[in-house]
Amino acid sequence: MIIDVVKRGDTLWSIGNQYGGTAQQIAAANQLPNPNKLLVGQSLVIPIGAIQHVVRSGETLWQIAQKYGVPIQSIIQMNHLTHASMLNVGIELIIPAKTYVVQAGDTLGNLAQRFGTTVREIMRANLLAQPNVLVGTRLIIPFPKPTIDVNAYIINMGETGGREVREVGEHLTYMSPFGYIMQADGGLSSIQDEQAIQEARKKNVAPIMCITNFTFQDPGTTLAHTILSNVQLQERLLTNVINIMNAKGYRGLNIDFENVRQTDREFYNQFLQRAVNRFHPLGYFVSTALAPKTSGEQKGLLYEAHDYAAHGRIVDFVVLMTYEWGYRFGPPQAISPLNQIRRVIDYAVTVIPRDKIFMGFQLYARDWLLPHEKGQEAETFDMQEAIRRADKYNASIQYDRITQSPFYRYTDERGRQHEVWFEDARSAQAKFDLVKDYGLRGISYWVLGYPFPQNWLLLENNFIIRKV
């Protein structure tokens, strides 16, 4: 599977013909709102048995061919290379997938073992409905890829939340309904999470109970202090959490305390240790959500009480909330800018084990009115709507190389200017590459309910998703 960017004059037919795919396959893979009209700058996933490799300094074609286990001649032919010894640094090569002809006695199980992949990956790459293959069948052998954990938060409950989990559950390790709000007496609010948990079980997804201290109306600073400064209230809260987890079948806990005072930082660390001491003997894991810090001394109510080193030492894993730079009440900018995410991870890996870190990734787009006025709220919607809106207003999609994020501007029917930031196949791939480069445990999505078909295709193309 590769990524291409629409150029002037491109059609689905011409793109499919270029890569050996079909217009129908490309339209289906990207769920294009208007297959008859491609937008210049639009990013497309091309569902073929190939991947892209960016040539690095010192690499030779022989080394690249060895890395992927494919013949040099296949790479030369696929990329129309005339001088195989001359590779420019930064050029993108298309690497065709390895193929294998099934022999007598072969099974998908022994082929998966031989080629370092899984039966599920071979079936997916070859669109097999059953794990049975005939002698003489030519199979695409998937490229080796790392195994990661994937979490997704949901905010819609009841049947809607259940449907969201059902639709993408095959791509998830964990699912976290957000959230149970703690009360000043150690109690918890109730949420209708039963259907989401039921669908999670069907998809072999482990549900994580999430507790928090804030609402849209209350930052929760005082409430956090009330609980964190009182051991008796903490014990009561943890007992209530355990009772709910036992009753509903949760597998672990995610603690998302935000806007906590710096003076409550040590209290928060002690609470985490208390939670771990109670939950581990019961077979439950404990995780936390952390504000995106770039240093241990970072100031501000969001950051100061989040002790990265302590969380990394105490809990089983952490979710870095590496999104919301493009805040709905703030000025227009990339919501999950790669350069900012990299700064957060650069700090995080110095104090938290890499196999405990989930990188946060948002699943929605935003549209800001221009000029931006303080307190003015941007509109939030899904990536498909971002493309539909660009089409409607004949906007030119641009790609910011620093943030690795697409954006565009348009003028509406009332003459007002807008700026839209969203995600596409290129920006998703850049984030997946970051997870691989840093060797992180996985990815955590905020939040389900916003369709983004390219994301899930590329996620499976880059990783094997662990099931627990």
- Give me the catalytic one of 121, 164, 199, 258: 258
d(CA 56, CA 163): 43
Q: Check pLDDT > 90 for residue 80.
A: no
pLDDT at 19 over 90: no
Q: Are residues 446 and 338 in the same domain?
A: yes
Length of the chain equals: 468
Highest-pLDDT range among 22-26, 112-116, 171-175, 214-218: 171-175
Same domain, 226 and 258: yes
Q: Mean of the pLDDT values across residues 417-426?
A: 98
Residue 350: per-residue pLDDT: 98
Using a pLDDT cut of 70, give the percent of the chain over it.
99
Q: Euclidean distance between the first and final Cα of the chain, in Å?
A: 27
CATH number of domain containing 85: 3.10.350.10
Q: Are residues 86 and 151 in the same domain?
A: no
Residue 86 confidence (pLDDT) above 80: no
pLDDT at 87: 84
Residues 86 and 119 both lie in one domain: yes
**What does residue 236 show for φ and ψ, rounded to 5 degrees?**
-65, -40
Residue 6 has pLDDT above 80, yes or no: yes
Confidence of residue 21 (pLDDT cuts 50, 70, 90): confident
Q: In this structure, are 136 and 156 located in the same domain?
A: no
Active site annotation includes 258: yes
Domain coverage including residue 38: 2-141
Q: Which domain-ending residue is among 116, 141, 166?
A: 141
Q: Is the pLDDT of residue 201 over 90?
A: yes
Q: What is the CATH number of the domain that holds 212?
A: 3.20.20.80
Q: How many CB atoms lie within 10 A of CB 144?
A: 13
Looking at the structure, do residues 24 and 153 belong to the same domain, yes or no?
A: no
Residues 71 and 133 in one domain: yes
Mean pLDDT of 8-34: 92
Long-range contacts of 142-145, Cβ-Cβ distance < 8 Å, separation of 24 or more:
142/97, 142/115, 142/117, 143/51, 143/68, 143/95, 143/97, 143/98, 144/116, 144/117, 145/461, 145/462, 145/463, 145/464
* pLDDT at residue 85, as a whole number: 66
pLDDT per position as a tens digit, 122-134: 998 898 999 989 9
Asked whether residue 103 falls in the same domain as residue 122, the answer is yes
Helices and strands, counts by H and E, the chain: 16, 21
pLDDT mean across residues, the chain: 95
Q: How far, in Å, are 88, 388, 408 from residue 419 at the CA level? A: 35, 14, 6
Task: Assess whether 217 and 283 both reside in one domain.
Answer: yes
Are residues 74 and 126 located together in one domain of the fold?
A: yes
Answer yes or no: is pLDDT of 11 > 70: yes
Number of domains in the chain: 2
> Which of the four pLDDT bands, split at 50, 70 and 90, describes residue 78?
confident
Separation CA 322–CA 314 (nearest Å): 21
Instruction: Identify the bridge partners of residue 357 per DSSP, sorted by sequence position.
Output: 318
Q: Based on the domain organization, do 339 and 279 belong to the same domain? A: yes
Q: Please identify, among 122, 141, 160, the residue that sits at the C-terminal boundary of a domain.
A: 141
pLDDT tens figures, 433-460: 999 999 999 999 999 999 999 999 999 9
Do residue 27 and residue 170 come from a single domain?
no
- The whole-number pLDDT of residue 260 equals 98
Task: For residues 371 and 388, give the distance between their C-alpha atoms in angstroms, rounded to a whole number.
Answer: 23
What mean pLDDT do residues 35-41 have? 92
Contact predicate 10/38, CB 8 Å: yes
pLDDT in tens, 302-358: 999 999 999 999 999 999 999 999 999 999 999 999 999 999 999 999 999 999 999
| Domain's final residue, options 94, 117, 141 | 141
- Residue 90's H or E segment, with its range, is none
